[in-house]
Amino acid sequence: MGENVADKQAEINSYIESNRQRFIEELRELVRQPSISSQNRGVQECAELIRKRMAEVGIEASVMPTEGQPVVFGQYKSPNAKKTLLIYNHYDVQPVEPLDAWEHPPFEAKMIGDKIVGRGSTDSKGNLLSHIKAVEAFVKGGVEVPLNLKFIFDGEEEIGSPSLPGFVEKHRELLAADGALSFDGGFDASGRPRIQLGSSGLLYIELRGRGPKRDLHSGRARLVDNPAWKLVWALNSMKGDDERILIDGFYDDILPPSEEEIKLLQDSGWDDKAHLEEFGVERFLLGVTGMAASERLLFQPTCNISGFKAGHLGEGMKTIVPSEAIVKIDFRLVHKQSPEDILAKTKRHLSRHGFSDIEVKCLGFIEPSRTPFRSKIAQTVIAAARENYQMEPMIKPTGEASGRQGPWLASRLGIEGAASGIGPPSWRGHAPNEFITVGHFIEGIKYATRIWNKYAQV
C-alpha cells in the first residue's frame, strides 16, 4: 500500500459514507436490544449480539465471564503493526424509568429526522459500534489496519464496573497494550468534541437510620426518636451551607491542578450560557462563573444526596413517626483521594458526632484517574479531533463523571490513556428520550479511524 495517509483516510471515509444506511440500521438493531445491568435485563443477549458483529468484521471475539456481567473481549492482529491500542466501551445501559416521560418506546430506536431515539443510543452503543464499524472500514475498504487492536466491552459500567478490577488483574497479559482509549457520551455543551484525560473517583454509600420497631402515630413524636430527623442532623454535620465538606481529613490528599492543567482550562472555551442551558438552571452553585465554575466542576470533590426515603410519600396525609429512614449519598472524588479512605473517615465522623447508631453501607466505588496532557495518546486524540471535526476540541484534564474507562485502565495497566465521545451535545444522558444523531454517529466512525492512523505514526 503505497498511498499516503491522506489517501488512505479518504478511502476509509468513502467506504463509511457508502455504507452509511446499513451502519445506521445496525446501530438501531443494537439499541433495540435491552441491556440494563442493574436489572439483569438482556445483558447476556446483548453481549452475544456484539460478539457476532465483531466476528463479522474479522475481530477474534469472545464473551468472557466475570463475577458479574460478562466482558466481550476481542482482538484484531495486523501483520505489520508495531503498536497495540486497547479500546474500552460499555454495552450496558441505564434503566428507562420514568417510562411515561418517553415520547417513544425506549427500545424502539425510533428515527425522528436525523435522530435515533432510544436508551443507549449515545451511552454507549453508538460509541461502541463506531469502533467495530471502524475496523470494517479498514478491512473491507481495502486499507491495512495500522495497529493491533484489543477491545474490552464492559457489561457493568452503569453500576460502577464492580467486576472490572478483578477481570483486569486476572487478564493483565491478555490486555497488554501501548495505550488505552475509550469513547463514551457526547460533545461538550459548547458543541465541540470533548477529550478527557482523567476521571473523577466515586464513593456511593447508604445511610440507614432506625427508630421505633414499626411506624407510630405522630403524636408519639414527643417521646420517640424520628430516624428521618436523625439522618437530617447527620447530613447537616457532614456539609456546611458554604458547600464545604466537614468530614475530618476529607481534603487532606487532594492534589491540586498543575499550571498546565489550569492553562488547559483557560484555553478550553468554557461557556457559562451553554452549560446553564444544558443543566436547566439560572445560576451555578455559590454564584461561580467562568473559569471558577470550570475549575470547580473538574477539581473540587462533592458530597451529594442522591435520594432520601422516609415515611409516607404518597398522596394525601398520613401522620406517622417512620420506623426507618434511608439516604443515598455519592461523593465525587478528585486526584489522589482514595474511596476506601473517605469511607473510613465518614464512618469515624458519624461516630464522633453522635451518630454511631446510623448504619453505613458502601454500595460501590471507583478510583480517580489522570493521564498527562503531553502523553502520546492525548496528543494523538487531540490532533485527530481537530482534523476530523475541523474545530478545536474541548480538552478536559480530568472529568466530572466517574468510570473505569480509558484513563482508569491506563492507570491500572501502567500505560497512557484518554477518553472522548461521539454523541451530540445535550444528548439527554441517563434521562428519557436519549438520542444520537446520524451525523454524529457516522463522523464518530471516521474519528476512530483517524485516531488509529495517527497513533500508529507517533
CA distances from 202 to 161, 183, 199, 341, 367 (A): 12, 20, 9, 12, 7
pLDDT in tens, 116-158: 999 999 999 999 999 999 999 999 999 999 999 999 999 999 9
Q: Find the mean pLDDT for residues 39-60.
A: 98
CA quadruple 71, 330, 337, 238: dihedral, nearest 10: -160
pTM: 0.87
More confident residue, 354 or 258: 354
Give tens-digit pLDDT for 342-362.
999 999 999 999 999 999 999
Report which of 195, 160, 182 is spatially closest to residue 379, judged by C-alpha positions. Answer: 195
pLDDT at 338 over 90: yes
The reported pLDDT for the residue numbered 448 is 98
Confidence of residue 458 (pLDDT cuts 50, 70, 90): confident
pLDDT at 371: 87
What percent of the chain shows pLDDT beyond 90? 90
pLDDT of residue 3: 54
Burial of 338 (C-beta count, 10 Å sphere; 0-12/13-18/19+): middle
Predicted local confidence at residue 7, as pLDDT: 86
Which helix (H) or strand (E) is 87 found in, with range?
strand 84-90
Predicted pLDDT of residue 300: 96
Stretch 276-289: mean pLDDT, rounded? 95
pLDDT at 1 over 80: no
Q: What is the mean pLDDT of residues 99-120?
A: 98
Residue 170: pLDDT band by 50, 70, 90 thresholds? very high
Phi-psi region at 318: left, alpha or beta (left = phi > 0; alpha = psi -120 to 50): beta
Among 43-52, 190-199, 237-246, the least confident range = 190-199
Predicted pLDDT at 278 = 87
pLDDT value for 4: 74
Residue 63 burial by Cβ neighbours in a 10 Å radius (0-12, 13-18, 19+): middle
> Would the pLDDT of 30 be above 50?
yes
pLDDT of residue 382 exceeding 90, the answer is yes
Single-letter amino acid, residue 413: L
What pLDDT shows up at residue 246?
98
pLDDT at residue 399, rounded to an integer: 87
Q: In this predicted structure, what is the pLDDT of residue 268?
A: 81
Cβ atoms within 10 Å of 314's Cβ, excluding its own? 7
**Please, what is the average pLDDT of the chain?**
95
pLDDT in tens, 387-425: 999 999 999 999 898 889 999 999 999 999 999 999 999
pLDDT at residue 144 in the model: 96
d(C-alpha 392, C-alpha 384), whole Å: 10
